[in-house]
Amino acid sequence: MTSSSLTKAVLFHELGGPEVLKVQDVPLRAPGPGEVLFRVAAIGLNRAEALFRSGTYYYQPTLPGSRLGYEAAGVVEAVGEGVTAYQPGDPVMAAANFDFGVHGVYAERVLLPEESVVRRPAGVDAVTSAAAWLTYSTAYGGLVETAGLAPGDHVVITGASSGVGTAALQTALRLGAIPIATTRGEAKRQRLLELGAAHVITTDSEDLAKEVRRFTGGKGAEVAFDGIGGPGFAALGDALAPDGTAVLYGWLDPRPAQLSMNWPQAVHMYANGVLAGTEGYRRRASAFIGSGLAGGTLAPVIAETFDGLGEMADAHRLMESNAHTGKIVVAVG
């Protein structure tokens, strides 16, 4: 490639709904020292991107012309000086450990630091790979490395129909744990049972703590894995065993998270991007995900695949509708 060229990317110039997303030509330079250029084949959507686009994420976009996107799979086109782990032709994924206002991967080609790239699992196609890294690495990092989930443990997974939620169900089952899924209404109960939930609690009509204690013979769950936060976080304290662990990895409810009045358990605020910044964690997560995909114990639940960057706004509309189960993917090339 020349020292500078153009690529199509999705940008936004103001805060707002999906309609603010625009496909534009943007400059693309050759990779510098420690950088990897790869052609994107598929993009996985994450709720954080909708929050960022609307101005409610934990950091703000720089406008106009902010980029967007954490998760993509593709093939290396070129590498910069000093990069030895990758070469042109290697199948890779974005590691989602960067400011996506700067390095956002909603594009046909992206340039990332070497430490923000991981190898795609052997034999796994781009659409599946785009749906795998962030969801499964969050589930692995939160449940295994942070909470120490063990065989036989009960784990409450809130928002279980989300991409991370379905990945957490599979991760728990792979570890020999017993997943208890939560969802707001009845519409997704059967699908969550089909995905392996041992018990499903509809939080709009059932008492979470009471149901968990009923299902666990009164003792409570060993782990809670929560991507919602807000005042409802307090109910998880009542649902946990006295030595239980709660991991809060998201805040779909923007109100302050509340603790139970009687909370002796451990509480962890989990940030996957921080862990993914360390080489050791990327290596362990890659091994866990790759072996799980190869063995069939992990299989991303893909709600819908859209075709092309021009459909990104519609993909965001589906994500915000909460009508889907699993991951939304946009195929690019």
- CATH code for the domain of 320: 3.90.180.10
Residue ending a domain, choose from 224, 253, 273: 273
Domain extent for 105? 4-132+301-331
- Which whole number is the average pLDDT over 117-136? 93
Number of domains in the chain: 2
Alpha-helix residue ranges (DSSP H) falling in 201-277:
208-215, 233-239, 272-275
With bands split at pLDDT 50, 70 and 90, how would you rate the model's confidence at 4? low
- Note the pLDDT of residue 143: 97
- Note the pLDDT of residue 254: 85
Same domain, 314 and 184: no
- Note the pLDDT of residue 260: 82
Residue ending a domain, choose from 273, 288, 309: 273
Same domain, 115 and 10: yes
Q: Does 284 map to a domain?
A: no
Asked if pLDDT for residue 314 goes beyond 90, the answer is yes
Dihedral sign from CA coordinates of 206, 270, 299, 129: positive
Q: Does 141 map to a domain?
A: yes
Same domain, 147 and 104: no
Task: Name which of 95, 151, 87 is nearest 281 in CA terms.
Answer: 95
Q: Does 120 map to a domain?
A: yes
The dihedral over CA atoms of 29, 33, 35, 38, expressed in degrees to the nearest 10, equals 50
Q: Does 286 map to a domain?
A: no
Q: Does 258 map to a domain?
A: yes
Q: Does 181 map to a domain?
A: yes
Q: Which two tokens stand for residue 57?
A: 């994420």
Same domain, 116 and 140: no
Q: Give pTM, 2 decimals.
A: 0.89
Q: Does 281 map to a domain?
A: no
